[in-house]
Amino acid sequence: MYVGSEVLRAEPVGPDVVRYVLKLERRLGSSPGQFVMVWVPRVGEVALSVAREEGREIHLLVARKGRVTGFMHDNVREGWRLYVRGPLGRGFAVAKGTALLVGGGVGVAPLIHLCAALKGAGARVVAAIGLRSADYRALAEDLASCADEAHVATEDGSLGIRGTAVDVAEALLSERHFDFVYVCGKEAMMRQVIELAMARGVRVEASLERLVKCGIGVCGACVLEPLGLRVCADGPAFDGDTLTRAGDFGRWWHDAAGRRVPLQP
Amino acid sequence: MVRLVDLRVELAGLELRNPVVVASGPLGVSLGLMKRAEEAGAAAITLKTATLRPREGHPNPVVYELPYGLLNSMGLPNPGAEEMGRLISEAKAVMRVPLIASVAAQSPREAEEVAERLRGADALELNASCPHVRGLGAELMDDPQLVADIVSALRSFGRPVFVKLSAHGDWIGVASRALGAGASGLVAINTLKAMAIDVRAKCPVLGGVYGGLSGPAIHPVAVRVVYELHREFPDVPIIGVGGVETWVEAAELILAGATAVGVATALRRGFHVIGEIVEGLRAYVAGEGLASIRELVGAAHR
């Protein structure tokens, strides 16, 4: 059963990323790290992290990836109707103390929602954001303005330091104490951040993106081996310890037919 | 005094530690998920249906949740028989419960080629009932002779062969021909042909348009089909599937004539439901003052 929604705004926040602000027919009630399945009638359905929820409004950051996201970029504007089911999956554990949020590109999405919750719980939040270039400046804005302190790195050095989110996270973790690290981005990047945090005994959670079909844990499409973790139902947020035991993480994924294939970098 | 209850059943030569098996579908193509189901108490695992060549399945949306059940239109995604065979070999090395491989094919020759690659399984299930893929599954229900020919072909592998029936069509007739051709047991029922239209979008919801309805809504249909199959073929082992959410629905199917029951849609609530169903059946059998659950198979007919 879908909840109908109207697109209030569709704003480009980078060369191939659009922020959609949807007004739902009823409140979603998501916790940070949870996701929704967004159905575009006659086109398809995709899994997207909830980047922000306020009243009946939600934010989604959508990168152009395939058929459905491509259609959204090319056609879905203000006034369009989209259909949402969720909230789905298990989100982040919201901890107190000082948190480091590490986001790569569109991976900042669930961290924006998380940042608001952490601040609400009285935590201090430091953000480390990695972008391809200054063209993605707007993508970082929401997280940067929510956090108490934000550090940006770009691959070409056109904004902030030249480097990656991992570089920023490594520097921050070496300099000071954090109670919790949260990361979302490409799996190879998340692996590195998890290693950095665990080496220092800091609790860490990561939010994963996989090919999600059913979204409710009954089809097995998004499984992580060898533990048999369903990203859509057991995750998408997992703790670092679990992920270090999930050999597929950062290395293998399952395609639409369930074939195990190397993860694209 | 705690009465010891025997939950073990024998199903066409397969020794099951209890009557609860995982039906085909929910575990995808994952050894990790199969192990989780085994640890949760499942007595046997049915694998996702394999076809000769890999299939990507239908585009999203592939499921639609309803208050009374679940519609799905996965479209038989699978990595193909070759890869499924490798998974079975891997699984046989680490799992103790029997593995039932599910086969979809359009001809005896194709079924043989699939089964050849699934050799490691303890039993085969012919999927004659998937309602949302053209040319495979439920269309077999219209051709009892073809079902019989495929069963004969699968029999050559020397493993028990089950036929999974649809509640659509002449299932008694199809079962009769399949058993005549050497099938060792029946599985009933698969999902019911169904679809959903969103009233605001005014179009079908599922990417594959048609889907199969499972869950609580279809349970009474499953009870009726199992009841009649058992009446017609009292000596044939049946795996009853359809809307088993708790031990109550499991017990109902057993009383109707099922030796074992399959769970699938119920797993959306977590693997723990398997253990809950098993323990519920144990308490039920004890409460009835019986020593073995086998005494309840088909008891509603007596």
Q: Which of B32, B70, B198 sits opposite A227 (nearest CB)?
A: B32
Which residues on A lie below 8 Å from B55 (Cβ)?
Answer: 257
Distance in angstroms (rounded) separating the CA atoms of residues A252 and A220: 15
Whether A228 and B31 lie within 8 Å, measured CB to CB: yes
The shortest C-alpha distance from A25 to chain B (Å) reads 12
Q: What pLDDT digit, counting tens, does each position of B35-88 carry? A: 999 999 999 999 999 999 999 999 999 999 999 999 999 999 999 999 999 999
DSSP label of B268: G
Of A1, A225, A233, the CB nearest to B30: A225
Interface test with A, best of B27, B29, B30 (most A CBs within 10 A): B30
Over residues B130-142, the pLDDT tens digits come to 777 777 777 788 8
A54 exposed, middle or buried (CB, 10 Å; 0-12, 13-18, 19+)?
A: exposed
Closest residue on chain A to B53 (Cα): A257
Would the pTM count as exceeding 0.90? yes
Residue B1 has pLDDT above 50, yes or no: no
**What is the value of ipTM here, to two decimals?**
0.92
Q: Which residues of B touch A39 (CB under 8 A)?
A: 60-61, 201, 205
Q: Which helix (H) or strand (E) holds B297?
A: none
Among A20-24, A166-170, B3-7, B271-275, name the one with the lowest average pLDDT: B3-7
Ranges of chain A with pLDDT below 50: none
